[in-house]
Amino acid sequence: MNRTLFAPFAALASLALIATSASAELPKGAKAPGFTTRAALAGKEFGFSLRAALAKGPVVLYFYPKAFTSGCTLEANAFADAMPKFKAAGASVIGMSADDIATLKDFSRKECRDAFPVGVASPKVIAAYDVAMGTSGLTTRTSYVIAQDGRIVAVHSDGDYRGHVDKTLAAVRALKK
């Protein structure tokens, strides 16, 4: 392969490796860091508090890199489709990204289908949950299931969106046993 063509591919591969290896999600059993943030549901902005959400039941907190990108859109669609199952299991879901609130309002309508909220993941929240994707400002695709006592009972981190809904739903259902 020509060196001029190879250099950009090598740089991209290196960035992907750094982004993957820099992530060291919080472990099962850890206390979930509390936070409040601006969020959107059905296109409307509101204040979200993890503490208030946990008072109602377990929370699935899933981080995704960027609204309206292919994997993030498909993941939001999958969570929206599964919301009746999460609700039946007594859990709430919130998606988090570093997108601004205007983007999240739109994303909550179009891709989350008004089924669950999405919130602004500030740099402080991203650091607290150890989901930074290198220095890009984006988050890794990481899902946490947080029990009502504030402890993390499941963690799933994978760039492929497809396992997140099934794995988090199984963890929520296991809480009821």
Of 128, 123, 157, 129, nearest in space to 141 by CA: 157
Query: Which residue in 157, 93, 153 sits closest to 131, CA to CA?
Result: 157
Mean pLDDT of 131-146: 96
Rounded to whole angstroms, the Cα distance separating 118 from 171 reads: 21
Is 72 an annotated catalytic residue? Answer: yes
pLDDT of residue 142: 98
pLDDT, tens digit, 9 for 90 and up, residues 38-82: 999 999 999 999 999 999 999 999 999 999 999 999 999 999 999
Give me the pLDDT at residue 14, please: 37
Separation of alpha carbons 89 and 174, rounded Å: 9
Q: In the structure, what pLDDT confidence band is assigned to residue 176 with cuts at 50, 70 and 90? A: confident
Average model confidence (pLDDT) across the chain: 90
Report the C-alpha gap between 83 and 157 in whole angstroms: 20
Q: Which domains does the chain show, CATH number per domain?
A: 3-175 (3.40.30.10)
Q: Please report, rounded to a whole number, the percentage of residues in the chain having pLDDT higher than 90.
A: 85
Rounded to an integer, the average pLDDT of 126-139 is 95
Catalytic annotation, pick one of 32, 39, 72, 138: 72
Q: Looking at residue 9, what is its pLDDT? A: 39
The answer, yes or no, to whether residue 126 has pLDDT greater than 80, is yes
